[in-house]
Amino acid sequence: MKIIGNLLAWLEERTGLKQPIIHAITHPVPPGSKWYYVLGTAIMTSFIVQIITGIALSTLYVPSAGEAYESVQYISTQAPFGALIRAMHYFGASAMILFTGLHMIRVYLMGSFKFPRELNWLTGVALLFITVAMGFTGQILRWDQNSVWTVAVGSQQALRVPFIGKLLVEVLVSGGEVGSATLSHFFSYHVFVFPALLIGAIVLHVWLVLHNGISEPPVVGEPVDPKTYRQKYNDMLKREGRPFWPDAAWRDIVFSTLVVIAIFALALWLGPPAIEKPPDPSIVNAQPKPDWYLLWYFALLALLPHEIEDWVIVLAPLFVVLIFLSVPILAPFGERSPRRRPWAIASVAFIVSFVLALTIEGFREPWTPNFEAKPLTPEIIGATSGPIYQGAKVFDTKGCLYCHTISGHGGKRGPDLTEVGSRLTNDQLTIRIVNGGYNMPAYAGNISAQELKDLTAFLDSRKNH
């Protein structure tokens, strides 16, 4: 013990860190700091899990386009504890994103973004976006069919940005096309750039929390007044404040322990995220999709009318960023209690419901081809022979049923054709089949004249009787 004491004294004499550390862990917290105040520590705990598991994974991962897929396969199937570590890394990232979102909801509803904590909110916004970027780049490092095509789709979206679209694509994929340089690019961002930014944002955020103090639970009828708030807050801490350690820290320790146990349990139970087939640029009929935390945006773009898709791709991210950044600017003082801010509760309820509904649709993917669709029955066709029956067989053999619904049977990627005969003439049907359309291939050269005649006869018979 004497040796340890001497070592600590030697370090303190040369660094002077003892007092800042003691001040940090014993800083006073306001009364009423209950369990909903532990989310910030949960984010830190999840990040520590990410660092530990990430370092372990980096010892086996090969950031080369020719070997990345095989190295992930090796980690998942052969390396000792590789599947467990990879799964913990995935669920740790999910926990970090989830807790960051919940923490920001709590801060917004309790008005903790108001004076003097505006910068606390802004650094929290930066933490949220960097965390999501970390998760996205981590998904790309799997370098399977889904990951490669996710980058390709993302680059196509970036290309639609006016003026700087081409530059964004070159930055995103490190050149004009997805390749080995793209993987190295994302690896550097995931392992070096974003972690460094995240650590810097966390340090700044924690310092701001210590400098401005932990926000007290809001009280109805006690608005924030910049002229008097600091004095009232300091007086309250002198009267009723308690040191973080040990009076409040036990909750953070208990919850952080539960977080680690939950991550470990999910990793054991569900395992790491599935790896799809190796990347193959020749397979153009791919259906890439992001991990769960971006499924809502994926679903939004998939469900949008084609005419406004470009506008949403360009403006929606900008709109989201501006909304987050404007929160402390639009309401820097005034009432904090959610009881006096019903619009705050309503906006959170709307956004959460909106994102949740789109996420569910993202898991369902009703817009993807239904390759399990069964051939139409004679009852649905309305015939057992003749051109209409033959046209129904063409409808099935050409794969039309994968994307189109007839009387509740088939896919939902394309329009419902149950009553298409009431909307389009025979000539219009012919033109659409031959020339194709948005998300529909042209069948000219892939369908005989007799097949086309039978198919249009079948579709023309689909009318509202």
115 has pLDDT over 80: yes
Asked if the model's pLDDT at residue 148 lies above 90, the reply is: no
Buried b (16+ CB within 10 A) or exposed e, 337-366: bbeebeebeeebeeeeeebeebbebbeebe
> Is 406's pLDDT higher than 90?
yes
pLDDT (average), residues 172-177: 77
Q: Write the CA distances from 43 to 103, 130, 168, 173, integer angstroms.
A: 9, 13, 30, 30
Tell me the mean pLDDT in the region 55-72: 94
Q: How confident is the model at residue 335 (pLDDT cuts 50, 70, 90)?
A: very high
Nearest to 127 by CA among 198, 188, 215: 198
Domains of the chain: which residue ranges?
31-278+303-337, 378-460
Four-residue CA torsion sign, 303, 137, 58, 52: negative
Q: What is the pLDDT of residues 413-442, one digit of tens each?
A: 888 999 999 999 999 999 999 898 877 888
Q: For domain 31-278+303-337, is the CATH number 3.40.50.150?
A: no
Token digits of residue 131: 């965390």
With 80 as the cut, is the pLDDT of residue 248 above it?
yes
Split at pLDDT 50, 70, 90, the class of 172 is: confident
* C-alpha span between 402 and 398 (Å, rounded): 9
Mean pLDDT score across all residues of the chain: 91
DSSP annotation of 410: E
Q: How far apart are the first and last CA of the chain?
A: 92
pLDDT at position 2 over 90: no
- The answer to whether the CB of 216 falls within 8 A of the CB of 32 is yes
Residue 298: pLDDT over 60? yes
Give me the mean pLDDT over the 248-259 stretch: 95
pLDDT tens digits, 274-289: 998 888 766 656 678 8
| Rounded Cα gap, residues 329 and 342, in angstroms | 19
In this structure, which long-range contacts are made by residues 423-429, counting pairs with CB atoms below 8 Å and at least 24 apart in sequence? 424/459, 426/456, 426/457, 426/460, 429/456, 429/459, 429/460
25-to-41, 259, 331 alpha-carbon distances in Å: 13, 21, 31
Banded pLDDT at 149 (limits 50, 70, 90): confident
DSSP 382-396: T-SSHHHHHHHHHHH
Once rounded to an integer, what is the mean pLDDT over residues 203-221?
93
Lowest mean pLDDT among 2-6, 60-64, 218-222, 285-289: 285-289
pLDDT of residue 163: 83
pLDDT of residue 26: 85
Per-residue confidence band for 175, with pLDDT thresholds at 50, 70 and 90: confident
- The phi, psi pair for 202, rounded to 5°, reads -65, -45
The fraction of the chain above a pLDDT of 70, given in percent, is: 98
Q: Which pair of tokens denotes residue 259?
A: 């977080």
Question: What is the per-residue DSSP string for 85-107?
Answer: HHHHHHHHHHHHHHHHHHHHHHH
Cβ(69)–Cβ(278) below 8 Å: yes
What fold is seen in the domain 378-460? Cytochrome Bc1 Complex; Chain D, domain 2 (1.10.760)
pLDDT at residue number 93: 97
**The dihedral sign for the CA sequence 417, 422, 426, 431:** negative
DSSP label at residue 34: -
DSSP bridge partners of 406: 409
Q: Which helix (H) or strand (E) holds 433?
A: helix 426-435
- Of the two residues 158 and 377, the one the predictor is more confident about is 377
| Alpha-carbon gap, residue 297 to 276, rounded angstroms | 22
Per-residue pLDDT at 158: 82
pLDDT for the residue 352: 97
Give yes or no for residue 100 having a pLDDT over 70.
yes
